[in-house]
Structure 1
Amino acid sequence: MFDKFRLKDVLVDYKKNFVTTEWGNEKYKWEAVKCFQDNWDVNADDFADMLSRSLAKTLNLLASTNNFPRGMIEGFAKTAPEEVRAMFINLYDESKDVYDRIKAFKDQSSIMLEKYGNGAAQHYQYENAITIYLWLRYPDKYYIYKYGEIKTVADELGSDYRFKKGAYADNIRSFIKFYDEICDELKLDTELVNLLKSQLTDTCYPDPDLKTLTIDVGFYISRYYSQKGKETSAQEGEWFPSEYEPGLSVDDWVRLLSDKNVFTEGSLEIMRRMKDYGGQATCTQLSVKYGETKNFYNSGSVALARRVVEKAGCPVMERDNENSRWWTVLYVGKVAGKDEEGSYVWKLRDELSDALDKVDLSQIQLYAVSEEGEDEHHYWWLNANPKIWSFSGIAVGDVQSYTLYNENGNKRRIFQNFLDAKVGDMVIGYESNPVKQIVAIAKISAEQDGKKLDFEKVEGLTSPIDYQTLKAYPELEKMEYFVNPQGSLFKLTKGEYDFIMDIIRDENPISTEKAIDAYTKDDFLDEVYMSEGRYNSLVAVLRNKKNIILQGAPGVGKTFAAKRLAYSMMGEKDESRIEFVQFHQNYSYEDFMMGYKPVENGFELKYGIFYRFCQKAANQPDKDYFFIIDEINRGNMSKIFGELLMLIEKDYRGVKATLAYNGLPFSVPANLYIIGMMNTADRSLAMIDYALRRRFSFFNMEPAFDSDGFIQYQNSLNNETFNELIEKVKELNKEIASDKSLGKGFCIGHSYFCGHDTCSDEWLRSVVDFDILPMLSEYWFDDTAKLQRWENILHGVFQ
């Protein structure tokens, strides 16, 4: 056992870094398994060559500065291939205890070293290397054992398992049980599983059981997560340099500040902004808060320091980097936190800071001014109190009014902001407690008239941005709302607005305009073997009901048709307007709509795939969107849909209901269509929930062997065996349809025979043996005579 909440805390960080850092560094593990699986053949004539090819991509797993297990085992294989072959055959014998096999491999390696080692001191075939061999061969069962790593993982996760040096057998057995428990938890994290799937390529082992992912999570915990919060003093230590002083007094600095040849207007702007920020900041923070580029502050400070030294003749610190020796004249510094890796925090030297207090900087520009000819826009942060009104409650394009006076007739806080807001100003739409998220982008649509200010919602966010996410950025720490959150309308600098928009766009990217292929009804009829009349009925039903379920036997092309139905109704193959999910017994409302998920400091409301897709569709009300659900009847409908059972109805599209989780209004947009697929031949499934059945139309899809499209396809293959097999399958379908225990819903679909330009007996035989006969064995499990008769009939086609 271990603390599962600690693991969830780990996975928050792991997922955050998975795509940007972790995968690029660790992808080779999945590639190593794929390489081994592709090349391993224990009976190969040239065993040594085969072993070398199998281990070719293990990289540092089996080779490092002081550890050479791969080199030694390959050397042994070249010298004594049959002995090494026997070692691997025994290691991979799953009928024996795992540690007995590991020990035997290790002991035999010692014998090999004495016989063929040529004086080598080590064979390096210990538990770590041997478990790597096991994992490469059986990646669905084993993990990589490394004592120090496993012990750290156990400590970090508060595990009951104990690992002791020298207790090899107990350690190995406990390690496998421990990692199996971790693996079981990873399988429940849908987001993590989808992240892995999104990165896997053809060169990678697909890792269906997530054992390799478990190995990598353990490595991450040991190497990175265990060091969290333990940064060295060099990273978070005292200000430096402590050994250098420019030797300038407060009076010296006052005199220099009055010299316009030293402190130019740009230099004074830097100084005033540093003081206004609190006397210490990074270049990025100054840029975000006051405008100008980061280089304006960096280069400007270096140039100022050069002029100070030239004028005052003060000493300069000896440093290797030419620029870095100058800033120390003005500031002391330290490496910024890990969120600003590579940047420095500068703090005004005490004497310079005191001198700035003695001079008048009120006429110096605090905020960068727009270039001549550039539109002067303001940027705002607007709080919505969900108890009164909600950004989520208004549609894109709707206009909302905000009064300048509250219900008691008193002016709103920071009243001047309401007066300064102009038409066209952009607004960040934030919902306050308990939501505490940016949920929309808006713009001022009408200036205040003494009573109210109007703004228009221009975009709802599919992935809202949490308050804590924003609060974690040092660049935003001086934002007006963070400094004093009392009020409604807060000013943002352009830098702050741009910075927030970058965060928003990371989570809510705008689809890039690209050429999209057109797709018409004719294209649908060319690809899907359905008559034009049936297609027209299908489209009419979906247009009318908004929700449809395509039901039919296996192989009738439900999934294939669903996507092409969406294409044809859109008039183009726009994948960005289609979302595809598959229901299963563990699928929940939290996955589908929203739910609280563990994060570093507790729990955080996370939005599900359907909620985000609805927001996406609402942003483009003039375009159709399609949400496709495979195996719709495999999920617990009431558990998954919740209050959506009402909202997905045609008559309730656009009607808002309050969601239980966040207390905010939500509606399913009218331009969103839901297409479900249901396999009528799956006996294990209960009848679909009646409440959901009333909200969907059901469209039967049947085998299309007699359709014009299939007949044309069949003729193009021009193969007698194919023709005869199709005739036998049509006869089979007649018998299935007339079987009282089965019926039409169990017939064999045509799609098993589609998708090939040429026809071979090998392909047709594989369809019979691995698709059709296994289904018949389920259909007629209690009638072996009938099953045998049809097996003979179908096989007889190939005689």
Structure 2
Amino acid sequence: MAFEPNKITKEHIRNAVSRIKEEGIDLIPSTRWDVCIDKEKYPPKDIMRYAHQEMNGENLWIHSGGRDTNRFLERLGFDVVEKENISNPIKELIQKYKVDLRQNNLASEVYKWKLLKKFQGRPNLNAPDFYEEIKSIDYSNLIYGVGIGVIHHIAKDRPEPYRDCFITLFNEEFPLANRLQKFSSETLKIYRELQPNPKHSHHHDERTMATLLTYYNPGKYALYKDSFYQKYCQLLGIKSKKVGEKYLHYLNLLDDFISDYLVYDNELLELVNDLLPDDAFEDENHKLLAQDILYRMLDGVVTPSQKEEKAFQDMLKKSSTDDLNVYFHVLDRLIEELDIADEAKLTFSTSELLSFQIGIRYCLNLKGDKFDFIAPEEYTIEGVHKGQFEGKTQPSFFHKASAEVVMQHYPAIKQAVQSELENNKYSNKKKHDNLAFRKAAFDKEYRTSMFDYQEIKPMTTKEIIRPFEKPAFPLNQILYGPPGTGKTYNTIELAVELITGKKDISHSANKRTFDRLKREGQIEFITFHQNYSYEDFVVGIKPDLDHADLKFRKNEGIFYKICERAKQDYEMPQKQTSSSSPKSFEEVFDEYFKPLIDDGKEIEIAMKSGKILTIIEIKGNSIRLRYHSGSEKHSLNKDILKQAYEDRDAFEDRNISDNGNYNNYRYVLEELWELGKQYNIVKHLKNYVLIIDEINRSNISRVFGELITLLEEDKRLGAENELKLTLPNGEQDFALPPNLYILGTMNTADKSIALVDIALRRRFEFTGFYPTKATIDALAAEGKVHDDVPALLAAINKKIFDKKGADYLVGHAYFINELTDTDLVKTIKRKVIPLLMEYFSGKIDVVRELFSNSGYTIAYDTDNYDWAIAKA
């Protein structure tokens, strides 16, 4: 059946949710977004997959996660929200990777980009000699060494049957799962003809097949290794799949990783783009980048344990630098004798064995606050580990499995070293060509930031240079009212207005801006609960689950982090630039491209890397480009350029199609924006907003502690009564800047918070949100609620007000987009009546009487113990 996403209705989604609940179907948790359906949260892609099945019987969803999927749900009236994790391990993973890039560039892994550039589309299935074709492809360490040997063996002795296997594997007309299964089984049959011994594996496992697919079509497939796949599953808190299903699962996870995080991280994409050489594969879909992040951060670099470090230090304290020459020589011999590359004993390949040897040579000692490294010159040449060093001395830690082997044979190593020294077989004065050393320093601070990463704190407090200005809006504000009145919904509008100064913009546009500002760190959103504490919110310590022994690490809460970001911006000098009226796109386009249009002079744009992007021709709506590498296959569309010029937010949120050409558009747009003075105005102090949903659900005194005093306007930095406090962790002079706004929401129907008002009243201004007649009539006029809703709510809310007061009214949000009679009745039955039964302690007669004169009658069926609802 066809993939028909646009035919999915709200009813299909609700039916899918009902089925998931009834059958207890396990869903794959999303990494970043959840869709809210009937006050419960679900992973968007899985919901759409089962909704598609409800629609036409096909359990299918081919759109990537993130915005591509979220838009379908939002169009149908469902809220899609970002997960409310205080600590996001995936963001931390990406941040670690950025730290590594800035320190090491792509030195150890750039060979993958080069290999895919050189061999993409290979093997050529029509090559006259398939064995020569296979043999000419360099798979490097992306396939185990013994696996490459098997590939060459089969290709040489059975080239045509083997070619048929590849034709099957690359045939996109069939599902990938079928192709993988058939390729594995058919290659095994061929290999058994050559090697009947069942103990010998044919090594065409999921890693090998992933590499073959990626070489052939790197835009669609990704490199894979089971070790970091397993670790990524652990990081997400999900179960890994069984053999044969892992690569498919991995590709789905990778798609979500890319769509939820990488496509929005311009800093990362620019950093990587600037580091890639001219002969690197253009990874437009970010598959290779995603794999590199997971491999490097979860599997590729492992530090020695404390026990291992101590053992090496103990040995090295007794050895001089010259003695180490002997140690290395002996270690080479022991590595050969111990046969540690035997795959039956270890799970690393020959290339990883080289990494192990290099790592041992690098990691010598810990002295003071620095690691000291010594590297043999012979290990800096390209070819030993496929471009790992490229002529530079870069540290390479040994794998954990390798370290365990070294420690296992440590006594033998030590004895051999002592024996060599005693026999004086190798004089300390004798120089060996293959043991020429050079020193290299490796700062311990980098190691800490790489492997024990915690978000780097902004600069410490400096002399305040910005005078205090009374904020135009209250710094602390709580939106309060009964449930379903749009309190949380309106925090989006208010937060965007506080930061941008723009008001009366559509909610969808505000939501895009809100999401962008959240990604950029100017907005944080959190929901309080009864177990929330000061340590979660401000600062404290938490158990470090990465260590077997009980250890604790410093935890910086969401309040502390956004406060520090706001304070850093507050303490920075105000940037002064001239302002002028912006020019139209047509004016700027004609002015900027005049040399090319009139005289044919090519226009060069300097990229951040120092490389040149050249505009070579304008033909109709097409603007042709030339890369620094000489490639001329990319072009820009003038209409898209105009859209992006006029709506920068939409472009940066990737809501304007860029044909996968985002960075090229960005380089040209920055030139046009500057020329048009589009954003060349006085840069004011940036505001930051912390939204605390359900602020009344926690113990305010416990969560805020002494900081509740700092919230007051006159206690902020630069104010008349500026106040600074010492935090429990010893940090001194902690204060709140005046550009940090706090928005809270409070449900007045929850009377467990009666005392909170007293504690917060002096620090917060309160804005009421109620289901007023004007609000409900406006929603009905806009077609957002059923025509019966105004009369229905007016009737029941009047009676509720008379009995219990305004704090218990029924909000209009329950009825948004429930436009059919069926939807309205279902909402009354499943949402409104349960709420009213809670309000009135389960008194059926009282609840039934509330609906008199509402246009609907309700009755409780004591035979079926259910409510019957009818239109009057």
With the shorter chain as reference, the TM-score category is 0.3 to 0.5
Query: Which has the larger Rg?
Result: 1
Question: Relative contact order, CA 8 A, sep 6+: which one is greater?
Answer: 2
Instruction: Using structure 2 for the length normalisation, give the TM-score.
Output: 0.35
Instruction: Using structure 1 for the length normalisation, give the TM-score.
Output: 0.38
